[in-house]
Every structure is written in C-alpha cells, then in structure tokens.
Structure 1
C-alpha cells in the first residue's frame, strides 16, 4: 500500500515539474550545486588520443609551412595579375579575415621607382589601394617635388596587403609569409630603384630595422638599389623630420639621373 502511495506521489511530483517546464532530464541523480565539481560529471570527458594519433596530428601540423607555401605560390605566378590572385587565395594569413580588401598596388607597373610601404590603414583598406590617406597625400606631394607621380612614373605596394587590426605593425611571422610574394612582386614589376618606407619595409626587404639610422643610405636587395626613407605617417607626426626626407628625395632624384646617363 505504501509503495502505491509512493508511486502516486512520484507521478504527482513529475506532473508538477512538467507543468513548470522541466521536460528534459540532464542527469541520473539530483546534483548538489553547492558541492558540484569544477567539471560537471554528466559532460563528456575529452577523448584521450592514442600515441600514434597524436603523433600523426603533430606531423601533419609540422608539414604545413606557410613560408614554403608562399614561396611556391609566388614562384608559380608569371605576371602581376597571377600574383594578385595567388595572394588572394593564400590561406595562411589570418589578417585577410578581418580586412575589407586586398591592397595589392597602385601606380604604373614597370615604372623606374617602386615604393614599398608597410601595411594598409583604414583608408587603404576601404579603397583597396596603398597610400590614399593623409600619408598618401603627403607622399604624392613629396614625389611631385622631384617630378614623379604615381600616374606616370611610380609603382607602389605594401609588405602586407591586408590591414592589421587597430593598425598595429605586422608580426614577424606575417612579414615572413608575405616576403616571398613581395620579392616576386619586385621581380615582376622590374623597377630600377626600390624605396623602403618605414621599419616594416626595411625589415622585409633588407632584414634590418632602425629607420632613423638606415634612411638616406643606399643598400642593395634582390639585385636592385634600395633607399630607405622615413614613412610619410612619421613625417606627419614629426614635421621636423621633413628636412631629412627632402634630402632623401634629392638623393633619389640624383640616382635616377645617374642611371639614365
């Protein structure tokens, strides 16, 4: 008789719980929430990998070398359009996920002067062209002062074609991934002179930083003369540095005249 009453009580309690909305069981027994362990016992524990499986995953991870993949993809590009397509299809750089556009180039392919900037900013990301913000406007005025324009005599690109979050500097691994594409870009554009603007550009092309020491001093990379210069964005922040930038522009002008003769 007591067992029947217990059964009726249990059914009544169950019906009451269902009416309240408790329609799914999540455990075989009540849980004391005040004494519950850090990981709930009803949650599945992560599967323990066997040694062979873990080793296989480790080997697979090591087998993917982003720099080597970049080198192969860049080498396979026979012209600038193919290189741009290879960059767009490159799967290893996380920057592309947060960027609006691939910023590949501006200016005239085959121009005597190729300018290499650092990475796109907000304006460049929006328009899909390098050096179009305030720094780009200053760059245009600097070039015009020695008779150069991006419409006729200059070709421009960046080390990294996607905007980094919050305009931060590209990380070393990001620069390393993009370096093979950049070198191939230089080969295909075939300029007479390279201008590295800023530390990131000098790092990618020359393997060195310290732009205030490097600026104005000719170097060589990838079979071409390289002139490091301070970035126009730096000149906007430090107007007193424009004097040195003007000296660098005159040095570039003299080198172009010398090569022509």
Structure 2
C-alpha cells in the first residue's frame, strides 16, 4: 500500500534502463528461481556485479529471494512483474541478430516459450486458436486491431481481464483432457503475444493448461533460457487432443527485424 504521494515511476525506470538488469528479468520471466551465478552469465556480467544488480531489483520489489539451505535463488516478485516484462516486450524494439546462435535462440523463443505461468509464442497462439475453433472459448478471432483502444483495454481493443469466455462445452472438453479448470471460472484473460501480435491465453485457465502439458511431458525446457521444446509425446498429444499440428509449416528462422529476448 502506498502511504506517501504519487507513485515514483522513474525509480522503476532507472532499474530498467540497465541492459544487464533487463536481461536478468527476461531470464526469470518463465517463473523459474535461478541462482545469481546463472543470472550473471545470462546478463554477461561478473558475479559481483550481478549481486549488486539483484540487490537493487529486490529492494525495489521486482525480484525476491528464495533461500534453500545455504543457497539463494532469485525469482520475479509476482505475476504483476511478469506482465510488466511482457508488456515492455511488445513495445520495445527488437535486438538485431548478429550470429547463428542468436538467430537459433530467437527462433526457439518465437516458436514456444514459457511466460511466467502460461504458454506464449506460436504454440500459445495455436492452442488459443484451437480452443476457439472448438467452441471451448468464445471471443475475438485472435487478430488484434492495434489502432483501437477503449478505456483500460489492451492495444487491439481486447480487455485484459476478460477477452474470452469459457463455454460449457469448453469446461466439459477441458475436464475430459484432465485440465483442472478453476471452479467458477467464466472470463478468460489473454495477452497480445509480442512475437506473433496475436492473442494467447493467460490467467488461471492458461496456467491450468500449461500444468497439464508439463505433467504429461509434452514440453521440455531449454537450458539457459525460457524457450520450450515440444516432445514427441507432445506432438502426438497436441494433435490428438486439440488438433494442433506441430511444428507449424513455413517458419522463419527469426522474427523480422531482429531477435527479442
């Protein structure tokens, strides 16, 4: 709770003005808790420098420390911080691809990645499309009109808090797939995916879907970053349960204009 005057946005802006700190936040955007040594490597700084950056991020409430015995891990302080990172990703310019390694990484992130507690990238968009095509959710066709905005809605004339509605057929179908749909859930949130500029589901339903995919071994995390790989079981399961063919055809090796992290 704020007990002083107006919010000091510049204090957060100062933190985000440093590329090393931004790289740390991006590395944590999939919800993992990582040691300072890993975050130092991700940011390309010395361990002592990383400790200073992490201290500032934690002091300002963007990260928090998880202590396990004598080991300390860092994670985002909550879903609000993850949403901040994702929104900034939509408006930030793309970094140029300067090597094959960077191009491969950009391609992997565009295909499928973990965005805190839900799927993003082409896979997240494909799953959202499949649910809508089956009539399990109702709402937009998933293509935002970025010129329109109303009230507190996201760019694309899409309400972040309830862009879609879960239908009775959807609750029944998802229950048949073993997805633990939260009781009483009706409105389904979405994000505008920063690589695809389409909607992918977020919120409780998206988290339940990702939990189901993880439980059945459909996805495998990539070492060192938040990209996901679809396993052989995942390819078969996505096709059988949702009609999602994977990988999608004619995929470019990197997003146009460069790579985003």
Provide TM-score, normalisation by structure 2: 0.25
Larger relative strand fraction: 2
Larger relative helix fraction: 1
